[in-house]
Amino acid sequence: MIETTFPRGTVLRIRPWLGIAAAATFVVASVMALLWAPTDAVQGDVYRILYVHVPLAWLSYLAFVIVFLASVGWLWSKRPVFDAIAVASAEIGVLFTGLFIVAGSIWAKPTWGVWWTWEPRLVTTSIMFVMYVGYLLLRSLSTDFSRRATRAAVFGIIAVIDVPIVHLSVLWANSLHQLPTVLRVSGGPALDSSMLLTLMVSLGAYTLVYAYFLSARISLELARQERMWTRT
């Protein structure tokens, strides 16, 4: 009756290795970020939080784009697996956005001099966080699976518009947050090659962590769906 066409056996065989790869890359990235990468000429060692803050930010964007794609997938095909992907990615996205804001705050105090200020990047990021918390709350408003998934999918499609707004908010006039370092408007990345390599390894580590969490959370959601259907 319900076909998920999710290659569950393959995923279950791959997942432990994904976890090991994520943990190993995370250790390598941490060592590179804390010991190998040079200090910054202006900020000193405090800039090293970049290797946490930036990957978390990018992964938040990715998580919410996945929510968007899965939402379109659900509305298009009504295959329950898409709803499972959407909720899994939204939860991880909220977690990463929360950590991304905390890491940014910890970076802001010693450099800007304040923990928080109502600056465009910070405001749009808070909106993104609150919107996806709202997305998760919206999912608890209905017990009817199909209705809940459709409502959530419509919201998941609309909310993704804040992702480019967050990214581009630093280009607005008279803002405080620095411009993008890697994806610059003109010219190459504005950091030393060893710093860029460290950032890329960190990004890879966080992506693997995201993939591991996502796969585990999707399995959990599919098990829930199955239990729900066997009960009714």
Partner 1 sequence: MLERLGSRRLLILAALGLAVIVGTVAATNLADSAVYYLTPSEVYARTVQRGQTVRLGGLVKTGSLSLKPVSFHGPNEFEFVITDGNAEVRVIGQGAIPGLLREGAGAVVEGSFAADARFVATQVIAKHDEVYRAPSPGATPEHRTSFP
* Listed residue (129, 84, 88, 112) closest to 226, CA to CA: 84
Residue 146 binding partner 1, by CB under 8 A: no
CB of 25 to partner 1, least distance (A): 22
Rounded distance between C-alpha atoms, residue 93 and residue 170, angstroms = 21
Is the alpha carbon torsion for 191, 196, 198, 203 positive or negative? positive
Q: What is the DSSP letter of 187?
A: S
Residue 160 binding partner 1, by CB under 8 A: yes
Rounded distance between C-alpha atoms, residue 195 and residue 178, angstroms = 17
* Listed residue (57, 22, 30, 56) closest to 212, CA to CA: 22
Residue 55 binding partner 1, by CB under 8 A: no
Of 50, 208, 209, 222, the one binding partner 1 by CB under 8 A:
50
Nearer residue to partner 1 within complex by CB, 95 or 157: 157
Of 11, 69, 138, 154, the one binding partner 1 by CB under 8 A:
154
Question: Please, which of residues 61-90 interact with partner 1 by CB under 8 A?
Answer: 71-72, 75-76, 78
Residue 17 binding partner 1, by CB under 8 A: no
CB of 199 to partner 1, least distance (A): 9
* Listed residue (116, 91, 95) closest to 106, CA to CA: 116
Alpha-carbon separation of residue 135 from 88, 172, 194 (angstroms)? 12, 27, 39
Nearer residue to partner 1 within complex by CB, 9 or 188: 188
Q: Of 2-10, 34-42, 59-67, 222-230, which segment contacts partner 1 by CB under 8 A? A: 34-42
Residue 184 binding partner 1, by CB under 8 A: yes
Of 19, 98, 180, 204, the one binding partner 1 by CB under 8 A:
180
Contact predicate 62/85, CB 8 Å: no
Six-digit token pair at 141? 């408003």
Contact predicate 159/64, CB 8 Å: yes
Per-residue x/- marks for partner 1, 97-136, CB under 8 A? -------------xxxxx--xxxx--x-------------
Q: Of 7-15, 55-63, 80-88, 161-169, which segment contacts partner 1 by CB under 8 A? A: 161-169
